Amino acid sequence: MEIVNHLLSNAIFVKSPNFSDRTMPAEIIILHCISLPEGDYGNNNVRDLFLNRLNLNSHETFMSLKNVSVSSHLFIKRTGEIIQFVPFDKVAWHAGVSDYRGRNDCNEFSIGIELEGTIKDYFEDIQYEKLNEIICCLRKEYRQMEVVGHKDVAPSRKLDPGEKFDWERLNVVK
């Protein structure tokens, strides 16, 4: 696994329109979990959401996603497949209102990684494997970025990646 032109070599790159230019370097990695509908795995709904192509009528819970423009740099499926939506030198839109050590708007200085899952489910071994490889790659290519959860930067709104996410399985200091 390597990074070429700000893209992960073994990810499928599907360009999301939801990104902006960086005005400062990425300094942290923010971990999330997502599935649409929640707990339903193996479909293309998350990809479609990040491409602004999700059919909102296909599930009753999707109406809340109307006019929502979001993305992440990477999405790691439960099979280990990785999709990249935004090059690492651009800002992806995943953190929302957030704060990291007194700095707002964490999207601006982070890389966002979504794991296919929910805050109630365990994650797959292959997801930890891929995540570790990715973190290693990102640190080598850019800088020694700290890895935090979405809940760490938006504690009043968010719980992901959830209590079942095992931080001990990251070969990195959080």
Residues making contact with Zn ion (CB under 5 A) = 32, 150, 160
Please report how close the Cβ of residue 57 comes to Zn ion at its closest, in angstroms: 24
Please report how close the Cβ of residue 156 comes to Zn ion at its closest, in angstroms: 13
How far does Cα 21 stand from its chain's mean position? Answer: 18
> The tokens 């979405």 sit on which residue?
150
Query: Among 38, 81, 108, 114, which one carries the catalytic annotation?
Result: 114
Q: In angstroms, rounded to a whole number, what is the distance separating the alpha carbons of residues 51 and 14? A: 8
Please report how close the Cβ of residue 161 comes to Zn ion at its closest, in angstroms: 8
Please report how close the Cβ of residue 160 comes to Zn ion at its closest, in angstroms: 4
Q: In angstroms, rounded to a whole number, what is the distance separating the alpha carbons of residues 4 and 144? A: 18
- Residue 10 or 65 with smaller CB distance to Zn ion: 65
27 is catalytic: no
- Residue 9 or 61 with smaller CB distance to Zn ion: 61
Q: In angstroms, rounded to a whole number, what is the distance separating the alpha carbons of residues 10 and 39? A: 26
> Half-sphere exposure (CA, 13 Å, Cβ side) for 30?
33
Phi, psi of 60 (to 5 degrees): -60, -30
How far does Cα 109 stand from its chain's mean position? Answer: 14
**DSSP secondary-structure letter at 164?**
T
- Residue 32 or 77 with smaller CB distance to Zn ion: 32
- Residue 141 or 147 with smaller CB distance to Zn ion: 147
Residues taking part in catalysis: 114
